[in-house]
Amino acid sequence: MTDASTASDTSRVETRLLVGRSPEQRLLREELAAAASGHGRLVVIGGEAGIGKTTLARDLAKAAADDGMLVLVGHCYDLTATPPYGPWLDLAADARWRADLPPLPAAFASGRIDEIDSQAALFAQARDWFAALAERRPTLVILEDLHWADHASIELLRHLGAGVASLPLCLLATYRLDELTRRHPFYQQLPALVRDTDCRRIDLRPLVQDDLRALVVARWPLAPPDRERLVAYLERHAEGNPFFATELLRALEEESLLRRDNGGWALADLDRVVMPSLVRQVIDGRVARLGEGTRVPLALAAVIGQEVPLALWAEAAGLSEDEVFAIVEQAAEAHLLDPEPDGVRVRFGHALIREALYDGVVAPRRRRWHRQVAEILAAQAGASPDIVADHFQRASDARAWEWHVRAGERAQRAYAWLTATERFSSAAALLEGIPGLESQRARLLYRCGRLRRYADTREGIANLAVAERVAHLAGDRMLAADATYSRGLLHCFAGEFGIGVAELEAGVVALEALPPDEARPSWSKATWLADALPARERADMPDIDPAADVLIAAGVHHRRGSLPWFLAAAGQLTRAQTIGEQFVTIVEGRPAGELTISATGHAWIGIGLANAALGRPDAARSAF
């Protein structure tokens, strides 16, 4: 291991004073030792904001680095702005500048997740990369704030966690218990994560009086009466939260209420001191002491996000590079910012610090800053559409919905379909009630319904019902008919074949009844149809299916080819066979694109199922 690699590991793992966590430290050190000997595991640490998850993770990271292990860290940010595979991309950015590591998977190396050809291939590449890492050096991977992670990130964690038992690799993830709601991907996937990976869960409890006493004694050796007064004060105001306790102690020291005296420490009378219990006010006081020239740029940095690129900060604030560096130095000394080793970005020392600064900005100024940041980012090549959309939305800017759509399409291409539905849903909500944009809103809701067909059929059915209604209002009969068909598809996926098959057929009949000019767009591979896979397009496949004009003239839609499969599954065997054979006869010998080829395959599957159920194994085998 080179000196440079050692420095890069230890620079990321500076730790703070840790009290009251001896049992948790012991468990984590045991897992670290087991991983170093080739028996890895996933460990998840949960607790409220400020309870000490990050401090505990940093303590373990320092121990790992001291033992010669490789340490890699990835972070999540606000759920609405975290892109697909967000913490893994952040970890890759940490790994990219280190020459001692094997080459990253292509999508993570470039950050171009929209170029992912297969989620299965990406997961295999990630697994192989981490295995190669661990073969070189035992490795600790830390993923912070998974309560803000997207579905795809957690699926990848679940995949990797299930395979680390035989590797010298420890995966450590932290999350906020108080942030989890039913809509959070981590809340939804935590039971499966625990079940499938044999992970160890650690839920952190508040500090008790003895823990607070240890915190005081470690840094401020006071006479026993003063010590007990201070401990009682912390117990009353910090409510067992170590971050709050530390902030209160710093505030007391900065106000000279806790001060050095004759070589020791003395505590002033606290009975008459009105010390705010809200950490926001404590942080506000510390920021105010830095002066207005520092406070305003720090507030703007809080609007940018938990991670702050220095170039973006300088441009948005109208500051020179040296002026930004001076602010970073002051803020780091005040324990507000942590500079990153790459020298081009900083992070707030704790999410609560950033949240306190953000909440302190009046709404009109906050909106203006969000718009300013969004416009700077939007002008940059390769800007994250998730982050741009979030800033525009927080600015109440009409451009937000288009960036949500871009973010959704990038997520769809990365096979992060549930994240895509969240972005499309956000865009659709912003379009509600806007005259002239009803068709765009209907398409977005349609896409949500299609993308949810495997994961959340009930919500998908509801999306498609609204899409059909809005499409009718917009005069888009093609979309309304396809929404009927797709709603039937989801009913079948939910096991409701009666209503499902009826709606499938009703949708097909409506599509086939459309005039050619209205029907033709439904033969397109356009991404809004949400059927096209996000792999690179084949050069020999045109946008409009080559069979479209011939089959439209014959009164046949490609959706008809899917009917036999579901008719057979519903027990309507003779109809499945008849419709299937009619369809394949019509399309035989025709020039075909992806949609016709796919529909033909579905028709043959339906024929095969029908023949198998009717006791005709040779005919079934031939069809399959």
Averaged pLDDT score across all residues of the chain:
88
Percentage of the chain with pLDDT > 70? 92
For 39, other C-beta atoms within 10 Å of its C-beta total 16
pLDDT attached to residue 431: 96
Structure tokens given for 331:
């803020």
- With 80 as the cut, is the pLDDT of residue 180 above it? no
pLDDT band with cut points at 50, 70 and 90 for residue 2: very low
11-45 pLDDT per residue, tens: 333 335 688 899 999 999 999 999 999 999 999 99
460-478 pLDDT per residue, tens: 999 999 999 999 999 999 9
Structure tokens given for 16:
């703070």
pLDDT attached to residue 363: 95
Q: Which residue has the tokens 């499966």?
A: 192
- Mean per-residue pLDDT for 311-322? 95
The DSSP 8-state label assigned to residue 409 in this structure reads H
Which of 248, 147, 171, 161 minimizes the C-alpha distance to 207? 248
Separation CA 263–CA 249 (nearest Å): 19
pLDDT attached to residue 124: 92
pLDDT attached to residue 219: 86
Q: Which residue has the tokens 């991670």?
A: 307
The model carries a pTM of 0.81
- With 70 as the cut, is the pLDDT of residue 360 above it? yes
What's the helix, strand, coil split of the chain in %, to 5? 60, 10, 30
235-289 pLDDT per residue, tens: 887 878 888 888 888 888 888 889 888 878 999 888 655 444 456 677 777 788 8
pLDDT attached to residue 278: 54
Q: Is the dihedral of CA 294, 300, 302, 304 positive or negative?
A: negative
DSSP assignment string, 489-541: HHHHHTT-HHHHHHHHHHHHHHHHTS-HHHHGGGGB--GGGS-S-SSPPPTT-
pLDDT attached to residue 526: 61
At residue 175, what are phi and psi to the nearest 5 degrees? -155, 155
**What SS3 class is residue 243?**
helix
Separation CA 505–CA 501 (nearest Å): 6
- Mean per-residue pLDDT for 475-488? 96
- CB crowding 557-585: b at 16 or more within 10 Å, else e: bbbbbbbbbbbbbbebbebbbebbbebbe
- Mean per-residue pLDDT for 173-202? 83
Q: Which residue has the tokens 């005069």?
A: 475
pLDDT attached to residue 540: 52
Inter-CA distances, 564 with 314, 453, 555, 558, 600, Å: 61, 19, 18, 12, 10
DSSP assignment string, 63-97: HHHHTT-EEEEEE---TTTPPTTHHHHHHHHHHHT
Separation CA 69–CA 580 (nearest Å): 60
Structure tokens given for 411:
């997520």
The single-letter code of the amino acid at 184 is H
Inter-CA distances, 403 with 70, 183, 353, 511, Å: 37, 22, 28, 31
The single-letter code of the amino acid at 310 is L
pLDDT attached to residue 93: 85
**Greater pLDDT, 342 or 446:** 446
pLDDT attached to residue 485: 97
pLDDT band with cut points at 50, 70 and 90 for residue 527: low
pLDDT attached to residue 508: 97
Compute the chain's Rg from CA coordinates.
29
pLDDT attached to residue 32: 95
Structure tokens given for 470:
């809005």
**Greater pLDDT, 97 or 550:** 550
pLDDT attached to residue 355: 82
